[in-house]
Structure 1
Amino acid sequence: MPHLLSTCFDKMNAMKYLLFLLSFTLFTPLFSYADTQPKQSIVFGVHSKTAPLEWRNNGVDQGFNIELMNRIGQMCNARILTRRKTFQQLLSDVHSPESDIDVIAIVSPVTIDRDLSQSDPIYATHAKAYTLQGKAFINGWHDLVGKRVAIKKGAFVDVYLSGQEQEFERIDVDLYETGFQLLIKGQVDVVLAENFVARRLLPFYPSIRSSSDPLIYGAFNFVTNGKNAPLMAKINEALRQLKLSGEYDKLVNKWFGTGREKVDLTTTQQKMLWLAILVSIISAFGMILTAYISASLRKRTLSLKSELVQRRKAEQQILSLSQQFQSVLNGIPHGVTIFNRRCECLWSNDKNNLLLKSPEFHFTQGQVFQLDDSLIEVLNEQKSLTADMSYHAQYWQLQIHPIAEDQAVILLEETTEQQALRQANNEASRLASLGELSAGVAHEINNPTGLIIHSIAFLNHALCDLKPAAHHYTQQNPFWSVAGLDPNQAIEELEISCATIDEGANRISRIVSDLKCYARPNIANKHRPMKLNEVVTVSLRLTANQIKLFNLTTHLQLPEPELMGDAQQLQQVLINLIQNACHASKPISDSIPSLITIETYTRDSDHYLTITDTGAGMDDATLKRITEPFFTTRRSSGGTGLGLSVCSRIIKEHNAQMQINSRLGKGTKISIRFPLITAITKQMPEQQSEQERTVSLETER
């Protein structure tokens, strides 16, 4: 019995081997013949960046539609060429008989056919409404009445609504992403978007949500123009064969995770087995005739395999090099674009490419930038062009280099930060020159001021000696007058004038002294004992011309808080804070003037300096960036954005802390706390009252 079973299995194995040889003998010439036939090309246009339909990964086009089209091309003995364009370009090309695009994949409503020749449905999808978070749910078309609805021009939602009465305000957009951006800006209320695209965009727009059930059902189809109707018939036939064979389901399961499973594979295999046996019996008589051909083909096959292995190695090296080159170009932070003479974009890394055709993108000198004219000029002269450009408040460097007679590469690099640094450097140079100039001017002012003080002292002594003589002369001549005044009254007026001149000259001398001290270069790590109230007094003198227009109140603690620090630098901090408070406040001439308050006090062994205003205040976004270099809300009026940044640095050098509290429309309070490590503390009598330790000076100007 075992011997009999062994014999049966040997016969079955021999039969299978015979069938394999016969099948290979019959079909190998057919396959060889098919491989030698020239293949036609089908140009498949794609536009989407939405997985899993069609997108580009490391420079390789992938996706369900692309893989399905490649499989159809194999069945139609045609090579598929993938060409990527914008959605609007594809719509225009597929309607033109002269287009270089043969087939595109597009969504059509299930109830409406397009005018173009289209295939059987490929995959189902739908469109629904998307709104901002917190908006009401859209239960149907009636909830869109009166709303502003964004619709992508040419998409299947547009096709579905064409010719129908619409009770909402329709706003056409070129992309669903443009609709989402308008939704965030509040320029539309609802976006009707296709499911797959919306699923890709939602992670980038967290403030937008899906707000309805499906409103429109559609299906992906391959479409082409009328002249390619025979081609569409072949595509439909191949598509149906793929569905019948189960390959279509495998593709669906691969890219979407769903699909039908074939359950009748056993019966099909049995039928194919009996058919193969029949064919093998018929072909057995031709084995002797094909033996010689098989031997020669085997030799040729080995040669082709060796050549194929070498070619695949070369293709793999080229692909690897291409991917590396593509990764490098995509990783460059600047825009790189290649144009031809007709101003057609041949390649781009999709970074700031739209600026080149924007009407607001112009030369920094103000001349209008025309991409066509600049490209033709560079290509004709074969000379590179480098220029500084501006777009709104941003600056860019534009470089156009010829790389062939009809092609040029455009490099676009943002230089806003470099421009800001250059302006800040120029401003710092001007400020340094102004400091040197102010020191020289202060020295020159000191000389005449000293003469005035000396002369006034002489006049005061002279008036003291002239009083008795004038009194004696008046008794002898009662009608004597000085400048039309009674002699005693005239001498009194002269004394008042001398005192006023002496006070003004002394004030000029103090201001010049403060200005020279403020302009003197700072020497790091040279902190000395200083009084906080004196910093406030000097700063108020230097800003007297500005604060005279505002209501100012000062509360300075006595005895004065003493610190270890640089008085000049702290004066610079307080002057900057006073100027900022003046900019944010209303002058006395306004109906409701603002109040500016400056205080010094001691709490928990720490000394505090605070400045408070009741001006415009700041919002949270401005408050978070207030100490960033070059950030300012007054750039149009000359602000550089360096003031509070420098103040923050000086305060840190003094081991102090600055706290800013502000509310929009309520005002701002800035507190600077000097810890015990930088303070020179003195023992104060416990019985000393708060009234004795604090002096309040209220100035109403």
Structure 2
Amino acid sequence: MKRLLLCLIFFSFPALSQESIVFGVHSKTAPLEWRNNGVDQGFNIELMHRIGQLTDKRIIIRRKSFQQLVKDVHNPGSDIDVIAVVSPVNLDRKLSQSDPIYATHAKAYTLQGKALINSWTDLVGKRVAIKKGAFVDVYLSGYPQKFNRVDVDLYETGFKQLIEGEVDVVIAESFVARRLLPLYPSVRSSSDALIYGAFNFVCNGKKAALMQEINDALRQLKLSGEYDRLVNKWFGTGREKVDLTSTEKRMFSLAILVAIVSASGMIYTGFISASLRRRKKALDAELIQRRRVEAEISNISKQFQSVLDGIPHGVTIVNRELQRLWSNDNNVHLLISEDFHYIDDQAFDLRPAVLQVLNEQKSLIADMMYLEQYWQLQIHPIANDQVVVLLEESTEQHKLRQANEEASRLASLGELSAGIAHEINNPTGLILHAISLFSAAIKDLNPAANYYQQQNPFWQIAGLAPSQAMEEMAVSSDTIEEAAKRISRIVNDLKRYALPNLTQDHTLVCLNEVVEVALRLTANQTKTRQVTKLLHLPSPRIMGDAQQLHQVLINLIQNACHACAAHEGSIQISTQVSQGRALIKVNDNGCGMDSATLKRITEPFFTTRRTEGGSGLGLSVCSRIIKEHQGQMQIHSAPGKGTRIQLSFALVQE
């Protein structure tokens, strides 16, 4: 339980009746109470005297230490009935308490000439005296501050330490400080109210009936106006309650001093008034100039801030402890996201990156990824303990760079392919021409070989029986012919891959007709698969080369057939119109592809069917043709879930 008791008040009351109210009083000091020639007097003396009269109870005072009073008020069996406390206005008290008696506050006090305290931040790093157990102490227990706290037993002790240079600031309750300030003229009030508090009487919850009587008496005093007269008497404006005898002496001496100073001042004023008027005019002119400069600086600052806030890229300033000092709040969430990582998939942690830049005083620039986006991260040192973090999305630049690299690679490959095709075509043609002659000759020599073998049973060809040798030669001939044809197909694919862009020859093409032609030309491959055809009517039309589009769709249908098992495979081909685009979709329920294969599927010479005669140029050629038609190809696939391919072209409106 938080300590609620902060400031105990001394009371002294005459006995009035047999029944009594026992008040616990701090043994060292009684704030708001003063003595004149050793006689107790003050607001609380008169207030409790009137409460005792109205409740018909005798007032008994018991002096104890602060710690003992805290224990007694929580102990139902203690000999203390009531104590008086001051607590922050935002602090709830669980004990039974009276109506608020008066409001007070605490503020900062420093030596004359020291800087004013405008807020708690001005106390950072200073030595601040706090009275242990006071309501300032209770308030600060819930609001830790960044100053060096020095605990004192009394506010007066804090004022003495302030004068001796042991502390820089004293935070004191205002009414107590008003009593102490005349005794310590080198101390002054240096701030507005920092904490607001309320004065109440408090007792144990078991004595709620007693507190009710006290509250009734207080309300009667307020309704009658007697409470207001007491407040005006003791706390009225300008009423500094101090020891009256010593005050009278000091005031008499002060009056004589003031009279002397006043006379001297009047003479001195006559001499300096003229110079003060001149100085005032100069200061007024300077003030006007300063205000004009401050207005210009303020406008420039606002413009600069507006520019920074309008930058689409993220700009953030942090210190060594990763405290955000300033940010335009653009994409700052990336810095703490687990999905934000280096382009090589290494995890990103802001703290070691900032420490590296600060320790080496060297900028860090890295390419990053967040989900499907590419980003460039820059961290630059701007002070010994501060860096600026810049975040710029580079997805479009990254894709353009990849496209440029792919275009350069494909251009080089196209030139190479054209040269290779030319060099291989001639010997391949000779092989095909010669092997057809050998195949025909072997067929014609079979009867002669059989006849000669009958005449010479021991005759052999290449160490084999003539019939076996002729059969092996026929098989070898077929193998050579098939290999030469495969070389010829690869050369033709290379030649098609190296063909120039024929965009200028494009004509109006109906996509439904392209599908129909492609299905007719692949009928032999699709006859063992279930093919579904869904064509949009009227047929979507685009500008293009029908023969090249046939080649693309035939290649896609053949790939779908290769991916699907015979008699179990299902292929769906459809044409659609969506958002001003003409679409061709080819879906199958085949084996599908993993992500690694998908990334390379359009690379020249990449194939998963190398052993089955695949050249790896089919989809590369298709990709080039689609790009020449200003189209797009999207491929979605997963192992065991089939493949979905969508071709998108600009639609020619009817």
TM superposition score category, shorter chain reference: 0.3 to 0.5
Give the TM-score taking structure 1 as reference length: 0.40
Bigger Rg, which one: 2
TM-score between both structures, scaled by the size of structure 2? 0.43
